[in-house]
A = this chain, B = another copy of it.
Amino acid sequence: MKLTMPKPPEHQVGGHEAGPDKAGPLVDDSGHFYKPLHLGDERGAHEVNFYTSFSSDPRVPSSIRSFFPSFGGTKLLCTSDSSDVRLPHLVLENLLHGYSSPCVMDVKIGARTWYPQASESDFEKYLKKDKESTTVPLGFRICGLQVHHESGRWKPDRNKVRKYTVTDVRQVLRRFVSKNLDATHPDCALASSVYGGSNGVLAQLLELKSWFEDQTLFHFYSASTLISYDKGGMSARVKLVDFAHAMEGEGIIDHNFLGGLCSLIKFISEILTDTTEAEVGPANNRIV
């Protein structure tokens, strides 16, 4: 049996991408996602610690555990075909494995991304990003997305996404579940099947919210919800990712994450309300 080498993912929308001097994540055919560990600082070790401690914590309900990528330890991997340098990687579940046309959005949750132990310069850097993005006003910011349309793929450039205003976010959350390519009048044709329903995005976010109202185990600074669905037919999924700055909760709820999550929930609810009203409107007219 020939095993294919892990290769860069086709559908990454957030996180650290590979660059000329920088290792990016890899995926394989068996559904693994290999995330390179930061070697220059403690973030990599910190994320390994989080996954290790989280995976074995009996206080996490199994219904909540399924919101997190499954974790398979660490592994040394070559960073490219042409290199013999083997670097440590986190072995995680590839959350888009099996999707034919994945639509995916990375939403960093919280009105503050700086963590308690951040150095003064890191604190300034994170705070500046928070104030310049929608993190401060909305309690969340979109870090990346891609949507498959019949006519192709819409994947806005990182620098464009970085500059999203509140108005942009409102519109992008609609375009994410639209079939038309009209940026100013997204049709939200998929809103009820992706955001709505008993297994839709909203229901999953509400389940997460319930846990965050109660859990005092972890605080997730700079973590994201990865929201995805497959144009090829698979149902909507909400997962949490990026735990380089996850901290112990020390008996306090993660009010920063919870507040941002509630804000995102409100936006998604409004899209569903608008869509349902729009559907009811014309239908009623037709009957009359």
Contacts and interface: CB of A to CB of B under 8 A. Distances in A.
Contacts of A216: 266
B262 A213 contact: yes
Interface in A225-261: 250, 252-253, 255-256, 258-260
Given A111-B112, A112-B111, A253 B263 contact: yes
A262 B266 contact: no
A116 interface: yes
B263 A252 contact: yes
A236 to B, nearest CB: 22
Interface string A106-138: 000001100010000000000000000000111
A139 interface: yes
A166 B252 contact: yes
A157 interface: no
A277 interface: no
A183 to B, nearest CB: 20
Nearest to A140: B255
Given A112-B112, A139-B256, A258-B262, 5 more contacts: A111-B256, A116-B137, A213-B265, A216-B266, A255-B263
